[in-house]
A and B are shown apart, each in its own frame.
Chain A
Amino acid sequence: MRIRGFFLFQRYSLPIFIILLLLFALVLMSLRAKQRKGVEFFDALLMEISSPLQKTATLVIKTVQGTFQQYVFLINLEKENRVLKQKVAELQEENHRMKEMQLSNERLRQLLQFRENHSPSMIGAEVIGQDPSSWFKSMTIDKGERDGVKKGMAVISPAGVIGQVLKTAPHYAIVLLITDYNSAIDSIIQRTRSKAIVEGKGENRCQLRYLLRTEEVAVGDIVVTSGLGGNFPKGLRVGEIQKVDKKGHGIFQYAELMPSVDMAELEEVFVIMEPLPPTQPQGEKGKKGKKTKK
């Protein structure tokens, strides 16, 4: 009987293996959905191993891209001018580096100013990678649990809201962008103070859900965080309304939003370590000022 069983196993070993592997994948999906600690630990371990490679690759790619732009187009020039051209290339490279440094300085100064204006309880992080899949919108940053980053923390930039921390490893974290289908942020429209939920729509677009049809919303209105979710402080800019549609049925209207941050161009971000005091955007300040005059 045992021998027969063994031969049967040998005969069906491949289908059994395939079924077991797929079952294991399904069990993993279920564990992830339940947010079990064991899976999170294994995730963090693997992320910790692979992220330094990602960081190095980003650095190499940035350097190569810069050099490529400066040098490659100069290769096919005439021989007589080669020395001169090389000199020009060197100067251009130097100029490029200086420009890059200047731009980086400006960006960092802006970030520093933003941080000083708001709260010291934020840490700056560098973006080291984007989502490998085109279905989901996330990015990897070079700060993790050791730096105090925790799951659910808000990630912002001087231009506005970026997203929130989804997974953490000791030195790295994955940030779920506001443009992802799984992202939802409690927000208000700055002009009308109408409440709505900003949900990701992929491809650098978001939509406003649960926005009452009776609310007067117009293209160009600015949407800011409401501060109700707990993760994001009140008054941070989320984006600008691009499209309003009241044609459908129901009690809600549809509005499409363009995020104030270009997610593809992000290089540095801030992670909010503790809730900030409510910020007063300039438009809002002006509006309140008028009200008090009246």
Chain B
Amino acid sequence: MKRLVLTLLIGTLFLILQTTWLSSFPIRRIRPDILLILILYLAFLFPPIFGGILAFFMGYLMDLFSGNVLGCYTLSRPLVFFAAQFFKERFYVEGSSSQFLFAFVFALLEGILILILMNTLQPISLGNLYPLLFTFLLPQSFFTGLATPFLFFLFQKGSSLLFLQPEKGMKERA
């Protein structure tokens, strides 16, 4: 329970950083999605049920502070979490390059999902948003991927300090 609450607090802190500090960057396109990186890391740390609830709540918080009318992140974040859990043992994600690739692919897939949701579920027609894949989504996913090795390293250090047994989540799952 303590782990759950603490992770939730860290998630809230990350969300606040994303809405304040990262938003003050001059070029918005290079703003990495640090909350997505945290959710990807949670896939390695937490069992599916706890992690799924955390991802759901973080997506909900994200929707709350966003101009997103439908609440796409409440759906996409748990999906990303479960997908990352499914693929984590099929990929080697110890090295920086593989961590970059892992986050890059997930950021890209989540972006495509949101784009599809926006294009299909909005009550008003938004026009053709698909060119955004190249002008916006690719650079954004690239920088999210670039920030991942550094943040994963910090999370590893932090989780070993906070929880003493960072691998406990996997044991719980087993």
Q: Is the CB of A50 within 8 A of B69?
A: no
- Shortest CB-to-CB span from A253 to chain B, Å, is 15
Q: Give the complex CA separation of A134 and B110 in angstroms.
A: 12
- In the bound complex, residues from chain B placing their C-beta under 8 Å from that of A180 are 67
Query: Are A17 and B20 interface neighbours, CB within 8 A?
Result: no
Query: Cβ of B73 < 8 Å from any Cβ of A?
Result: yes
Bound CA–CA A96/B148 (angstroms): 35
Which listed residue (B23, B68, B79, B136) contacts A203, Cβ 8 A? B136
Q: Tell me the complex Cα distance, A105–B6, Å.
A: 41
Stretch from A2-10, A22-30, A188-196, A244-252 at the B interface: A22-30
8 Å CB contact of B12 from A21, A50, A137, A203:
A50
Q: How far is the CA of A248 from the CA of B108 in the complex (A)?
A: 32
Q: Shortest CB–CB separation between residue B60 and chain A, in angstroms?
A: 8
Residue of A nearest to B139 (CB): A134
B53 touching A133, Cβ below 8 Å: no
Cβ–Cβ contact A166 & B15, under 8 A:
no
Output the least CB separation between A48 and chain B (Å).
11
Q: Is B156 an interface residue (CB 8 A)?
A: no
B residues 98-147 with Cβ under 8 Å of A?
111, 114-115, 118, 121-124, 126-127, 129, 132, 136, 140
Q: Return the chain A residue nearest B82 by Cβ.
A: A18
**Closest chain B residue to A44, Cβ basis:** B64
Contact in complex: B48, A29 (CB < 8 Å): no
Minimum Cβ distance to chain A for residue B34 (Å): 10
Find the residue from B64, B115, B122 having the highest chain A CB count within 10 A.
B64
**Interface footprint category on A:** 35 or more
| Measured CA separation A131–B68 after assembly (Å) | 9
- Known contacts A17-B52, A181-B129; A176/B35 CB under 8 A: no
Whether B10 is near chain A, meaning CB under 8 Å from some CB there, is no
Chain B proximity mask over A75-114: 1 for CB below 8 Å, otherwise 0:
0000000000000000000000000000000000000000
| Residues of chain B contacted by A131 (CB below 8 angstroms) | 19, 23, 65-67
A65 to B60 Cα, complex, angstroms? 30
- Cα separation A53 to B64 with both chains bound (whole Å): 14
B164 is an interface residue with CB less than 8 A from chain A: no
B19–A32 touching, CB < 8 Å: no
A54 and B19 in contact, given A46-B64, A132-B35, A134-B140 (Cβ under 8 angstroms): yes
Most chain A C-beta atoms within 10 Å of own C-beta, residue among B13, B67, B69, B127: B67
Within residues 118 to 157 of chain A, which ones have a CB less than 8 A from any CB in chain B?
128-138, 140
Instruction: Annotate B67-80 by CB proximity to A: 1 below 8 A, 0 otherwise.
Output: 11111111100110
For the complex, is B161 an interface residue (Cβ under 8 Å from A)? Answer: no
Q: Pick from B26, B66, B121: contact of A132, CB below 8 A.
A: B66
A214 CB to closest chain B CB, in angstroms?
22
Q: B93 interface residue, CB < 8 Å from A? A: no
A33 sits at the interface (CB 8 A): yes
Q: Is the CB of A33 within 8 A of B15?
A: no
Check A43 against B132 for contact (C-beta < 8 Å). Answer: no
A residues less than 8 Å from B154 (CB atoms)? none
- Asked if residues A29 and B121 are in contact (CB atoms below 8 Å), the reply is yes
In contact, A132 and B18 (Cβ under 8 angstroms): yes
Set B19, B78, B124: member contacting A25, Cβ < 8 A: B78
B41 at the interface (CB under 8 A from A): no
The 10 closest A-B pairs by CB, nearest first: A138-B67, A130-B23, A129-B19, A136-B67, A25-B75, A132-B18, A57-B16, A25-B74, A57-B20, A176-B67
Query: Known contacts A21-B52, A181-B126, A182-B67; can you find 8 more A-B pairs with CB under 8 A?
Result: A18-B48, A21-B53, A29-B72, A131-B19, A131-B23, A131-B65, A132-B15, A134-B140
Q: Which A residues are closer than 8 A to B by beta carbons?
A: 14, 17-18, 21-22, 24-26, 28-29, 32-33, 43, 46-47, 50, 53-54, 57-58, 61, 65, 128-138, 140, 166-167, 174, 176-177, 180-182, 184, 199, 202-203, 264
Cβ contacts A to B, 18 pairs, < 8 Å: A18-B48, A18-B78, A24-B56, A25-B59, A26-B75, A32-B69, A33-B121, A46-B64, A47-B64, A47-B65, A57-B20, A134-B28, A134-B33, A134-B136, A136-B67, A167-B64, A181-B118, A203-B28
Could you list which residues of chain B lie within 8 angstroms of chain A, going by C-beta atoms? 12-13, 15-21, 23-24, 26, 28-29, 31, 33, 35, 48-49, 52-53, 56, 59-62, 64-75, 78-79, 82, 111, 114-115, 118, 121-124, 126-127, 129, 132, 136, 140
